């Protein structure tokens, strides 16, 4: 019965798409509810896309017992207990609470974050039966991320049946990657039949980093060469020119590139085969590379704060973990300086990037001859959008608070008003 209801809602929304463009074009001010669902958390934000203002901020930790939905609205903190630890329960509770506050919370559309759009999807995608089935077929490209996102879409369709729903893709920012950056030197059949290529991830975070850098430097995004460094549980580096991504460290999957909290990053591609020949199954290798590697594999902790504290105490494993982590970032910075022919800004963002002066110092320290000079005092800044470079630095070094949901709302608003979803910045 539940599936019948969901399919019915999909069908109704599919019909409604015919009328959306004319409706949305009448007003440039839009309120977008962004649903960002992970395996253990659900983030909900209502964004005024014209002013980039968060009207409602919510999050549910599905591992908490009992699970609760925490909301911030109109200066108030609200805690709502969930009936079960699921995204469906969080969205159902939000919908119930919403009924008593709808007068203050106009919503035009709902945006769902999806990690992987493959080679096909770049623009926001309306939620319909056919589209959802097509997205299910991409699950093997992002097996950790797609199932909870698809579950959240189905749940949101039931709780907010009267609203149009769209899927937005992390990979969309990389749709203009040049052929030499996205192509792997593998057999043609792998590339054409199996979609083996570089896709890139953390796109919304890197796109925001470019826009924020332009604001801080009082220049236009299209004038800048930016190296953005997203350091959180996942980590990636992206090179952007003229407001467009031209290269990025993550690859066909989010496991490639930098060592992360539990992911290995770049390794010799023969290592997985070697470990299978040593007796591990494909599933065991997959689990090890995605869940037991990175910082966790190097020193037994995936929390950067713990690793830094242990390194301060000169613990060898923690010191090695930091050296491996920062050296990998430093190499990508050097590579992208070459790829871009220089840079106007290096931007650190996400939890570790924004909040860890020590990581920024370890990554960029000693690069004065390349025109990168940190200001020790400014670099102590631990949050927000700031310049942390010395006045003598030829390349700006910035910290930026990651605002993926604002970028998604901004993009969907443009799309619904008949403009390109990710317009080239001017």
The DSSP call for residue 305 is H
In angstroms, the CA 397 to CA 374 distance is 7
Q: How far is CA 222 from the centre of its chain?
A: 22
- CA 352, 145, 153, 36: dihedral to nearest 10 degrees? 0
Question: Phi/psi at 348 (nearest 5 deg)?
Answer: -100, 130
Tokens 């997203």, located at residue: 230
Distance between CA 282 and CA 254 in Å, rounded? 18
130 in Cβ contact with 12 (< 8 Å): no
Neighbour tally for 59: CB within 10 Å: 16
Instruction: Label residue 110 exposed, middle or buried (CB < 10 Å: 0-12, 13-18, 19+).
Output: buried
307/66 Cα distance (integer angstroms):
30
Task: Indicate the helix (H) or strand (E) that contains 192.
Answer: helix 188-194
Question: Encoding tokens for residue 141?
Answer: 């490209």
Please give the radius of gyration of the chain, using alpha carbons only, rounded to the nearest integer: 22
3-class SS of residue 325? helix
Q: Are 144 and 121 in contact (CB under 8 A)?
A: no
The answer to whether the beta carbons of residues 87 and 155 sit under 8 Å apart is: yes
Q: Taking CA 202 as the corner, what is the angle to CA 404 and CA 326, rounded to the nearest 5 degrees? A: 115
* Residues constituting the chain: 426
Q: Which of 48, 130, 170, 266 is catalytic?
A: 170
d(CA 232, CA 401): 12
Q: Is 57 a catalytic residue?
A: no
Q: Supply 153's token pair.
A: 């879409």
Whole-angstrom distance, CA of residue 310 vs CA of residue 45 = 35
The residues annotated as belonging to the active site are: 170
């Amino acid at each position: 019965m539940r599936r019948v209801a969901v399919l019915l809602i999909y069908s109704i929304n599919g019909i409604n798409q015919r009328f959306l463009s004319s409706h949305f074009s009448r007003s440039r001010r839009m309120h977008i509810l962004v649903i960002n669902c992970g395996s253990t958390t659900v983030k909900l934000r209502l964004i005024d896309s014209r002013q980039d203002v968060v009207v409602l901020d919510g999050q549910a930790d599905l591992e908490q017992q009992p699970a609760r939905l925490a909301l911030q609205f109109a200066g108030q903190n609200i805690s709502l207990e969930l009936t079960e630890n699921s995204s469906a329960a969080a969205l159902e509770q939000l919908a119930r609470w919403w009924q008593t506050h709808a007068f203050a919370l106009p919503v035009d559309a709902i945006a769902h974050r999806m990690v992987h759009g493959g080679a096909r999807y770049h623009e926001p995608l309306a939620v319909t039966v056919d589209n959802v089935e097509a997205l299910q077929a991409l699950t093997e490209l992002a097996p950790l991320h797609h199932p909870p996102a698809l579950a959240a879409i189905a749940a949101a369709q039931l709780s907010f049946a009267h609203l149009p729903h769209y899927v937005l893709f992390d990979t969309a920012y990389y749709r203009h990657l040049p052929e030499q950056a996205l192509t792997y030197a593998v057999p043609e059949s792998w590339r054409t039949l199996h979609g083996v290529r570089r896709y890139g991830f953390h796109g919304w975070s890197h796109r925001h980093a470019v826009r924020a850098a332009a604001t801080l430097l009082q220049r236009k995004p299209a004038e800048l060469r930016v190296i953005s460094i997203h350091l959180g549980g996942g980590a990636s580096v992206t090179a952007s020119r003229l407001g467009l991504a031209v290269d990025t460290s993550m690859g066909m999957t989010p496991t490639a590139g930098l060592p992360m909290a539990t992911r290995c990053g770049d390794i010799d591609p023969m290592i997985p085969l070697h470990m299978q020949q040593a007796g591990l199954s494909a599933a065991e290798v997959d689990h090890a590379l995605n869940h037991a590697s990175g910082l966790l594999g190097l020193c037994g902790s995936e929390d950067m704060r713990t690793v830094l504290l242990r390194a301060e105490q000169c613990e060898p494993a923690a010191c090695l973990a930091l050296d491996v982590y920062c050296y990998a970032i430093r190499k990508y910075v050097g590579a992208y300086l070459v790829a871009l022919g220089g840079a106007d800004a290096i931007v650190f963002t996400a939890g570790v990037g924004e909040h860890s002066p020590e990581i920024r110092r370890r990554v960029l320290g000693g690069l004065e001859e390349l025109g990168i000079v940190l200001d020790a005092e400014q670099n102590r800044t631990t949050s927000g959008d700031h310049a942390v470079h010395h006045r003598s630095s030829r390349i700006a070094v910035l910290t930026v608070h990651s605002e993926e949901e604002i970028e998604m709302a901004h993009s969907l608003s443009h799309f619904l008003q008949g403009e390109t979803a990710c317009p080239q910045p001017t």
